[in-house]
């Protein structure tokens, strides 16, 4: 197995998508190839990789708007959570797996920011693609306290299920750095430092002031 892993700035609202594959097998997947699907496919082709799936972490427009073009270019099926409102040929839910050459991707269902949200984990290299669940320095926005409670539960499950050494790769470049580790986020991300769900809800309410006070962007 030879890992191919590229973080691609796709456009939009500082969106990140990913090319992930096994060079030896000549196989790769695109993750959230929005805004510039041609660039994602070009990176795969330049390396002689066949795109086997187009994976969406969740089905917000800014993550799926490249699907149609990516499918047209690759003929690969779209893989996402079955609750996704777009057509999903390969349904992925909690505990699901997908082989990409010798890579074995694992999926965690992590609702909150979106009901259909998945985190994508590649265990051999300890890579976790967090979509809009965990960003560097913050977490995905939620519209109601109820959604925020659901997100809190998802975060706690991820912290239990995935090794702290895992590198994390978010769906937007919102932080001080483009990637992080679970351990570093646990130590520094104010939302992951919350002692309980009430502190988490409180921080969400205070976030605009908190950001201003600390000079965060």
Least distance (Å) between residue 113 CB and Zn ion: 6
Cα(217)–Cα(204) distance, integer angstroms: 16
Binding string, residues 4-43; x marks residues near Zn ion by CB under 5 A: ----------------------------------------
Cα(65)–Cα(176) distance, integer angstroms: 26
If the CB atoms of residues 64 and 76 are measured against Zn ion, the closer one turns out to be: 64
Least distance (Å) between residue 114 CB and Zn ion: 6
Number of Cβ within a 10 Å radius of residue 179: 18
Q: Which stretch binds Zn ion (CB under 5 A): 21-29, 30-38, 39-47, 132-140?
A: 132-140
Q: What is the C-alpha R_g of the chain?
A: 17
Least distance (Å) between residue 58 CB and Zn ion: 6
Interface with Zn ion, residue 60, by CB under 5 A: yes
Interface with Zn ion, residue 132, by CB under 5 A: yes
Q: What is the DSSP string of 73-112?
A: HH-PPEEE-TT-SS--SEE--TT-EEEETTEEEEEEE--S
* DSSP character at residue 77: P
Least distance (Å) between residue 129 CB and Zn ion: 13
Cα(149)–Cα(87) distance, integer angstroms: 28
Cα(199)–Cα(37) distance, integer angstroms: 39
Q: Which stretch binds Zn ion (CB under 5 A): 32-40, 91-99, 124-132, 178-186?
A: 124-132
Using DSSP's 3-state secondary structure scheme, residue 17 falls into: strand
Interface with Zn ion, residue 172, by CB under 5 A: no
Which residue number places its CB atom closest to Zn ion? 60
The binding site for Zn ion (CB under 5 A) comprises 60, 132
């Amino acid at each position: 197995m030879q890992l191919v892993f590229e973080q691609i700035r796709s456009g939009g609202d500082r969106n990140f998508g990913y090319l992930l594959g096994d060079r030896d097998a000549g196989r790769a997947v695109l993750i959230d190839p929005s805004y510039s699907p041609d660039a994602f496919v070009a990176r795969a082709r330049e390396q002689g990789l066949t795109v086997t799936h187009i994976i969406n972490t969740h089905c917000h427009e800014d993550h799926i708007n490249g699907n149609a073009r990516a499918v047209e270019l690759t003929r690969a099926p779209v893989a996402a959570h079955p609750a996704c409102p777009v057509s999903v040929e390969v349904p992925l839910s909690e505990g699901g797996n997908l082989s990409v050459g010798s890579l074995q991707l694992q999926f965690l269902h992590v609702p909150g920011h979106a009901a259909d949200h998945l985190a994508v984990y590649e265990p051999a290299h300890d890579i976790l693609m967090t979509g809009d669940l965990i960003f560097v320095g913050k977490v995905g926005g939620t519209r109601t306290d109820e959604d925020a409670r659901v997100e809190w539960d998802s975060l706690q499950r991820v912290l239990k299920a995935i090794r702290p050494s895992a590198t994390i790769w978010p769906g937007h470049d919102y932080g001080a750095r483009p990637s992080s580790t679970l351990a570093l986020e646990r130590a520094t991300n104010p939302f992951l430092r919350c002692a309980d769900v009430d502190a988490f809800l409180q921080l969400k309410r205070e976030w605009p002031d908190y950001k201003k006070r600390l000079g965060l962007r």
